[in-house]
Amino acid sequence: MIEPVQLPSPWRDARLTVVVPTYNEAGNLPALVERLLALPLPGLRILVADDNSPDGTGEVADKLAIEHPDRIEVVHRAGKEGLGRAYVDGIGRALDGGAEYVAQMDADLSHPPEALPGMLGALLSTQAGVVIGSRYVPGGELDENWPLYRRALSGWANLYVHTLLRVRIRDLTAGFKIWRADALRDIGLDRVQSNGYSFQVEMHYLATKLGHTILEVPIRFEERRDGESKMTTATKIESALMPFRLRNKHRNITR
């Protein structure tokens, strides 16, 4: 586990909301929350967007919110509508709540929370609109236990999207990042159509088309600790078709 960067004041006090979509993550969420709240970021808040998880993740989140009422908010959604819809809902609520910066991360502990202070520092010290925790820039790593087929799928997906959309990002499917609030407002969540994992690609594509600087910093991506991957056949099909839709839908996008 890496040691989090100690940011100077007032950077450490920035109003950062971490949006965590959940579906059947009861075994992982408490550990993630503990690590997030231990970071040297007193302005950090957590917003859990739960899609009515049958394993009781929503109830676990509620208990954590009772223990930390000023730092955790829980959004209970009606059902499983896809990662993209959960993020649009959670990010919108974070912006409405006054967040200056919004982070996205998975609940399965594959993204190292301890990297967040360094990512925030990179955002604040540059003109970037978003900083991505990247697996595929120099210094980035994949857990040795990550299955070979997942490695192949991730590598192929990035090559496929690069070829179609010509976006200069090495980890186009990355789900760990920090956004400036004004960049998110400029993109406009109402423009986002993706339901599944292609949400990540669509957000990167929109940010690029609108001229926002995207910075990638290396992270170590871990295999999930508990539970199962939510990648379904329907999600894979949506992800395969989305680049064509994005190219047509957002071809002439302007501010």
16-71, pLDDT tens digit by residue? 999 999 999 999 999 999 999 999 999 999 999 999 999 999 999 999 999 999 99
Q: So what's the pLDDT on residue 234?
A: 54
Domain residue limits, the chain: 11-250
Name the residue type at position 110: S
Name the pTM for this structure.
0.88
Nearest partner of 201 among 234, 152, 146, 250, judged by Cα:
250
Greater model confidence, 99 or 155:
99
Q: What is the pLDDT of residue 82?
A: 83
At 228 the pLDDT is 58
3.90.550.10, 3.40.462.40, 3.40.50.1110, 3.60.20.30: which CATH number matches 11-250? 3.90.550.10
Answer whether residue 96 shows pLDDT above 90. Answer: yes
* Euclidean distance between CA atoms 231 and 221, whole angstroms: 17
Alpha carbon distance 129, 204 (integer Å): 11
Three-state SS for 165?
Answer: helix
Q: Which of 68-82, 105-119, 162-176 has the lowest mean pLDDT?
A: 162-176
